[in-house]
Structures are given as structure tokens and as C-alpha cells.
Amino acid sequence: MRPQIQLDRESGVPLTEQIVAGVTTWIRSRAAHPGSKLPSIRQFAADYGVSRFPVIEAYDRLVSLGYVDSRHGSGFYIADRAPGAWQCDGTSDPRRAEDESDHLLQQFNHPGETLKLGSGFIPEAWRDTEGIAQAIRHVLRTDPASMVDYATPLGNLSLREHLQARIAQLGIRADTSQILITNGASQAFDLLMRYMLKAGDTIFVEDPGYYNLYGLLKLHGVRLVGIPRTRSGPDLDVMQAQLKLHRPKLFFINTVFHNPTGTTVAPPVAFRLLQLAREHGFTIIEDDVYADFQTDVTDRLATLDQLEHVIYIGGLSKTLSSALRIGCVVGSHAIIKDLVDIKMLTSIGGSLFAEAVTASLLERGAYRKYLERLRRRMRDALGSTIQTLEDAGWEVFEKPVGGKFLWARVPHVDNAERLVECGAPLGVTVAPGSYFRPGMEPSPWIRVHAAFGNDPRAQAFFKAAAQLR
């Protein structure tokens, strides 16, 4: 069966990328049937007048993404359970769950030469790879068992002690038995959802907010109600109106250097939000994964509430290493005890090696020194990128003093999908605002990672986008 796709040799987008995008769209459109055989590599190349090399790479990538099966000696076939056919029980609209997972995958799938302006990752060159390598060598010498053993369900005690000291600097009082180490913040979210939610529950989330969180919630079959995020935090007028209509079980909020707007919750908003939680009986899940980007500490919701109506999530993946995958949940003794049971059932334990390496970095002061450098670089990058955007005629939602993200738009462009189309020929990929909305509604905004804002390709994109009519 020949895929119905279009290739544009003048677009500037590599042919491999075009083939992958075209075939996945064709499969997800249900135009092709699971099990159907695709043209051979040689035939595909002949049909579309391209060399075999981009076809070979595209087919390999389609296999790795789960869209295509490779059968030795027979050829390539559309997978029986291709991502375009996935359906999750309890998801109100399976196609939206597919779209959200595709959006998440896109930050991994673009070729290396593409500038990922909407990425969530710190550039590799900015990471402390030598410090991590030294910590790995230290652990290999002093704790070789960590390479083969499970971590304890709660996690490495030394690491929990360091995390306890770190949250104490924020004014959050908790002992080490109230801290659960997780495989990044994503596992923390998943454990809490398994523990606290059932299909049909109503949940308040931020609009815009973290798109992977929306996908996880929809997998649990819950109803999402978006609360607009303003420059000072959630719009409490809208929240009070929604509380007259709904009884939410939870409210998920990213308090400091919010993804994607870069904003931080103001103290008066934080106090009133806690009052609403107490009055209406919902729990707040405070996502504070960008805490270490902050130089001047501000009160968290968990600081003001001391874990009565707030469950706190932190982590080191956003700063230290995405590969080590260290996150944590901080809550009451009863909650953490139940989460440990769920963690044991779903994953037994974490990575003892990753936890030992992270503990070594914290103990030896390497992480503290690295953070000082990273904060300076990010502050400089934020300032220069804001200036570049404004000089090009863009509007910036808020000018954060730290973190990674800027929320920006071209004032006369109503839908950010046009900005995506503008960036592709320039070798720039961006994340449109619709990705960050719970219902994927159109948005004029895009997320910009400031670390990439001074790249010549980004500057060319900012100027070209401002000329759109």
C-alpha cells in the first residue's frame, strides 16, 4: 500500500523528517489499515524520486515509534497497535490523548540540526557533565552494589536528608519519612493520581500549563477544568465561579517559574488560594520542579500550609540531569506510606545507582557550584532573549527573573500554528500555545526556551514571524 504523502524538497525540512511526519499522519488518519504492507525501501524511493538513505532512516524511526513493524525477510507493515489506533479507557477523547503524546514525542524526534526553540531541556553544553562523571566514578569505587541492587521504596536515605535540608530552606517542615524519591516528577504525578483519583472526578488545572500532566490525567478518566493563569498566578475570580459549579478533588499548580509562562504566584494569591482549598475541601498538588532556578526564595504554598492541604512535588531533572530522573513527593506520613505501597506494586523501587550518584553530587558541593553558574547563564539568556523579542515586535507575557521559559506572541497573529509553519523552513521548531491548554484550544502564544534565544536561527525566526500578515 502506497502512503499518500507529499514531499517538498524546497522546504528546508530534511526528507527523513518529512517522510516520518507524512507516514504517521497518514496512519493516524485511519486511511491505512493495521497489518497493511508498506512499499519496500527501494520501491518507496522510486515512487517519490528520492535516494534510499532518507527512506531507510525514516523506516527505522517509524519502527522505533511503534507505527510500523519490521518483519525479517518480509518487509515493513503498519503496526497492529500503531499510536494512531491507541485508545485509553476513561479518556474522554482518545484522539486528544494521541495528540498530546505526539506533542511530547516531537521534542525528541526532530533531527539534531533543528533548533528546538520550544524545548524543555537545558543545552547539553550547559550541564555539569564532568561533575556527574566524577560522582559516577566515586560511586563505582565506594558503592559498587548500587549498580545491581534495588533502591529502598522510600529512596536513598542520604539523598532524602539532603532534600529535607533543601525544602527546609523554603520553610517546609518535614522529616525524611515524609519524603518519597520518585523517577522524576512524572512518576510523582502518576502515583498521586493512582492514589487520589477515580474515573469521573473533576480536577482543576492551569490554563496554560504542563501538557504531559493533562495527558496523564486523561488516562485516569477524570474531567479537567482549566483555570486561567495570570501574571500573578491562577485567576481566582474564575476559580471562585468554577467552584460554584464543580467540586474539584485536586488542583494542580506550578508555583515558581511556571511552565510555560515563566510567572511566579504572588503572596496574596497564594494566601487566598489556600483559603479556597480549606473552604471547599480540595487538595493542592504543588509542582515546584523549577525551584533550583530561583535565587531569592519566595514562600511556597507548602510553606504557608505546612502540608495540611498541599502535597509538594520537587525534583532535580530540570537542572541536574534528565537522565538521572530524580523527583520527590513530600506529604503527610499517611499519604507517603500509601504512596510507597503503590510505588512498590508498580515499580518495586527506584534506581539505586541514580540516587547514589545524585547524593554524591549534593554531598560534595558540585551541584551547588553548578547551580550558581546555571542561574547566571539563564538570567543572562532571559534578558537578552526578551530584548531580542521586543526589538522584533513580539509581546512577552511576563518578564521572569529566572527559570527557562518565556511566553510570547506576535500581536497580530491569532493562531500560533502559523508561527510553527513559519519556523519550519528556517530549521526552527516551536511549541504552539494549544499544546499547553487542557482542551488544546487555539492560542496565539508560543513557549520559548531562553537558552536558545540568541541562536542566529532563532533571531531569523523572530524577525520573519513578526512580518507575517
Q: pLDDT: is 140 or 7 the higher one? A: 140
Average pLDDT, whole number, for the chain?
89
d(CA 254, CA 213): 11
91 has a pLDDT exceeding 70: no
Predicted pLDDT at 10: 73
For residue 27, the model assigns a pLDDT of: 82
**pLDDT reported for residue 86:** 37
What is the structure's pLDDT at 430? Answer: 92
Angle, CA of 434, 446 and 223, to the nearest 5°:
30
Whether the model pTM is above 0.75: yes
Between 357 and 73, the more confident residue is 357
Cβ neighbours of 93 (radius 10 Å) = 11
Q: What is the pLDDT of residue 53?
A: 84
Q: Torsion over CA of 171, 175, 180 and 184, rounded to 10 degrees?
A: 30
Predicted local confidence at residue 96, as pLDDT: 44
Virtual torsion, Cα 76, 78, 80, 81, nearest 10 deg: 120
Strand partners, 167: none
pLDDT at 110: 45
Confidence check: pLDDT of 70 > 90: no
Domains defined for the chain, CATH in brackets: 15-85 (1.10.10.10), 113-126+369-466 (3.90.1150.10), 129-366 (3.40.640.10)
Cβ distance 213 to 252 under 8 Å?
yes
Q: How confident is the model at residue 111 (pLDDT cuts 50, 70, 90)?
A: very low
What pLDDT score was predicted for residue 12?
Answer: 65
Q: Which residues have C-beta within 8 Å of that of residue 122, sequence separation ≥ 6?
A: 318, 319, 374, 404, 451
pLDDT digits (tens, 9 = 90+) for 284-302: 999 999 999 999 999 999 9
Rounded CA separation 182/194 (Å): 14
Quick check: 274 and 303 in contact, CB under 8 A? no
Q: What does the pLDDT read at residue 112?
A: 52
